[in-house]
Structure 1
Amino acid sequence: MNLFNRLPGYVSSEPGLERVVLARMPMIFCIGATLLMMPSLLLRQGNWDMHALRLDDLISKVDIYATAGFLLYCNLVVAVTIGAFIVLVMKGPAYVADAYPLNDADSPAPAASRHTPQQ
């Protein structure tokens, strides 16, 4: 039994930008995540002439903004990846379901006789 029957005569579309997007998404995600983490790392590594409490306050604020930006960026990357995957699937071969016989396919019954109210 074949679960998927290809539609005869269907021509698949040429691959396009969706394949490029899907291929580059891991690199785009890593570069973006690194750029979003950089301010937090630089604040911790640098030798700043600032009072320790003010530096801790600044680090906390930057961490909160970096986390918010990272979560937003993750949502964006996932949405673009899902969109590219949907386009990839839609450009693939077409499949048809198995046909099933209809009782009144050649001469449909009148609408009144099909739906009789039950008493």
Structure 2
Amino acid sequence: MNWLRKLPGYQRTPYGFELRLLRLMPRVLVLGSLLPLLLSGLVRLFYTEGSAAEIERHIEVFDFAMIGLAVLLLTAVLTISIGCVIVWLMKGPAYVADGYDVSHSDKPKPD
């Protein structure tokens, strides 16, 4: 028995926005990871107001915010990628799900 028998006469749906979006995700991930890193480096160069302890505290809070932004971007990219893969798979060929005969399918038993 062939478990992966394609449904006869089924035509594949052409791929659309989901494939373009899926191909864009690696670039978004790299740029989204570099942006918080770049901003964290820039804040160390340009933030000079206050005492040394205040500067260190503000930079530490900013670093935590940038870590949160990077994690948010990572989870967003992962979620969007999973959604794109699901849509991509759903547009693939259709397979026969229930290929066996049910004895009472056209004549249900009376209750």
TM score, norm. by length of structure 1: 0.80
Q: Does 1:67 align with 2:67?
A: yes
Residue equivalent to 1:96: 96
Q: In the alignment, residue 97 of structure 1 is paired with which amino acid?
A: A
Q: Does 1:31 align with 2:36?
A: no
Structure 1: runs of 5+ lacking an equivalent: 112-119
Structure 2: runs of 5+ lacking an equivalent: none
Quote the offset at 1:3 in angstroms.
2.4
TM score, norm. by length of structure 2: 0.86
Comparing 33-42 with 8-17, greater Cα deviation is found at: 33-42
Please give the residue correspondences for 1:1-119 in structure 2 after superposition, counting only pairs within 5 Å.
1-44=1-44, 46=45, 49-50=48-49, 51-111=51-111
Could you give the per-residue CA deviations for residues 17-50 of structure 1, whole angstroms, max 9, x where no partner exists?
A: 1111111110111001111222212234x27544
Taking only aligned residues, the RMSD between alpha carbons, in angstroms, comes to 1.8
2:7, 2:95 within 8 Å by CA — same for their partners in 1?
A: yes
Once the two structures are aligned, what percentage of the paired residues are identical?
35
Aligned residues: 110
SS of the residue 1:96 aligns to: coil
* In structure 2, distance between residues paired with 1:89 and 1:2: 20
* In structure 2, distance between residues paired with 1:79 and 1:86: 11
